[in-house]
Amino acid sequence: MIIKRLIQDDIEKLIFKGKIIIIYGPRQVGKTTLIKQIEKKYEDISLYLNCDEPDIKEIFSKTSTEIRSFFGQKKLILIDEAQQIKDIGHSLKLMVDSIPDIQIIATGSSSFELSEKVIEPLTGRKYEFILYPLSILELRSLYSDIEIKRLVGQFIIYGMYPEIQLASENRSRNLISIANSYSYKNVLKFQNIKNPDVLEKLLKALALQIGNQVSYNELAEITGVDKNTVSNYIRILEKAFIIYRLTPFSMNLRNEIKKLNKIYFIDTGIRNALINNLNSFDLRNDVGNLWENFWINERIKYLRYKNIQSNTYFWRTKQSQEIDFIEEYANEIKAYELKWNSNKLKVPSSFSENYKNSKINLVNRENFLDFLTH
């Protein structure tokens, strides 16, 4: 079964508009499936190239004349796992300059390997997209809203990777395989990280601290490396689409936290697999933090896929008053307090008094779809 991804229509609108299209995202989230779906609409003029194949890599070391000859009459060139190509940015620029009538769509499973190679050569010549694990919006093509509410606990435990959501069996085994192999594959080969034990300790420490502020000094003590190494590893894990940071929101009020970040996992299933805890909700003591991580993931997907521009944060004071998620717009602040079961919203007085242009919402298991589907 194939679920149509929300960014497909946006991508197709930009085909043959004069710029390269680049799709980033973790391994196994469906980038190959997505571009093959696009390829079907252009069968007579499309060419799919998998850069994991050694002979395909060699093509990009040739001259522009040889590359043009290899493409033949094909006009839509789909380059999968483009980060495998040395100097891919310059290769893409060469192709665009020498064969201006082609459209290139390139995918990359780690932004540190691809984006940093194309920023300078392709400045002003590219459209960029991120493909995440499946979103609630996309799962509405399979389930009714009532079914989604019934199944949301499973979504949180097992995550939203297509392979996991579309499988009827072996979910746990497949999820653990994705977490252990695909997550590490990109990270370990970048900057020649040779100590997987440190990386594993760091990931597990982060997994146990979702929803909490993270101290790099504390993580350094846990992992046995210095603070700068921890900071560097976290940056790499972000670039590999495994985690992301939320920074604190502050207008420089005296009692606001301004330094410590929160770190979440792009997929809660990956997080649970890393700590080897795929237990159901009634056997867990981390339901609140998992719910927070999951809903923020889905809200970020919603904002991205709907092309809604906002800055995102959390808010906390030194007295431990807190707002879980904040979206900052030009003339408005939207704030969200995330509670799995509760229907009671208690707004910190210092927040409401100092941010009068804010709208504060309680998000729980009953109303969460209202903020992810409209």
| Residue range 272-282, pLDDT digits in tens | 999 999 999 88
Residues 89 and 230 both lie in one domain? no
Q: Show which of 114, 130, 146 is a domain's final residue.
A: 130
Residues 49 and 82 both lie in one domain? yes
What does the pLDDT read at residue 151?
Answer: 96
Q: Whole-model pTM?
A: 0.92
Residues 180 and 36 both lie in one domain? no
Residue 241, domain member (yes or no): yes
Task: Write the CATH number for 36.
Answer: 3.40.50.300
**Which of 180-189, 206-215, 229-238 has the largest mean confidence?**
206-215
Residues 73 and 164 both lie in one domain? no
What does the pLDDT read at residue 320?
Answer: 84
Residue 2, domain member (yes or no): no
Residue 282, domain member (yes or no): yes
Residues 144 and 121 both lie in one domain? no
Q: pLDDT averaged over the chain?
A: 89
Residues 108 and 140 both lie in one domain? no
Q: If DSSP states are collapsed to H, E and C, what string results for 15-57?
A: CCCCCEEEEECCCCCCHHHHHHHHHHCCCCCEEEEECCCHHHH
Residue 278, domain member (yes or no): yes
DSSP-derived 3-state class of residue 316: strand
The C-alpha angle with vertex 171 and arms to 169 and 172, in degrees rounded to 5, equals 130
Residues 99 and 165 both lie in one domain? no
What does the pLDDT read at residue 98?
Answer: 86
pLDDT exceeds 70 at position 183: no
pLDDT exceeds 60 at position 112: no
Residues 11 and 89 both lie in one domain? yes
Note the pLDDT tens digit of each residue in 286-331.
999 999 999 999 999 999 999 999 999 999 988 888 999 999 999 8
Note the pLDDT tens digit of each residue in 133-174.
999 999 999 999 999 999 999 999 999 999 999 887 889 999
Residue 182, domain member (yes or no): yes
Q: Describe the crossing of helices 88-98 and 64-71 by its angle, rounded to 10 degrees.
A: 70
- Give the pLDDT band (50/70/90) at residue 36: very high
CA 20 – CA 104 distance, rounded (Å)? 5
> Which residue range(s) make up the domain with 125?
7-130
Q: Tell me the residue ranges of DSSP E strands in the chain.
A: 20-24, 46-50, 76-80, 103-108, 126-130, 213-214, 243-248, 261-265, 311-316, 322-328, 333-338, 358-363
What does the pLDDT read at residue 184?
Answer: 66
Q: Show which of 130, 153, 173 is a domain's final residue.
A: 130
Q: Show which of 89, 115, 130 is a domain's final residue.
A: 130
Residue with tokens 């604190």: 248
Residues 113 and 157 both lie in one domain? no
Domain total of the chain: 2
Residues 70 and 148 both lie in one domain? no
Residues 267 and 286 both lie in one domain? yes
What does the pLDDT read at residue 114?
Answer: 65
Residues 49 and 178 both lie in one domain? no
Residue 1, domain member (yes or no): no
Q: How many helices (H) and strands (E) does the chain have?
A: 17, 12
Half-sphere exposure for 348 (CA within 13 Å, toward CB): 19
* Residue (of 344, 343, 337, 338) closest to 359 by Cα position: 337
Residue 219, domain member (yes or no): yes
CA 51 – CA 80 distance, rounded (Å)? 6
Residue 65, domain member (yes or no): yes
Q: How far is CA 253 from CA 55, 126, 213, 312, in A?
A: 59, 40, 19, 18
What does the pLDDT read at residue 182?
Answer: 63
Asked if 118 and 73 count as a contact pair (C-beta separation under 8 A), the reply is no
The C-alpha angle with vertex 84 and arms to 131 and 16, in degrees rounded to 5, equals 55
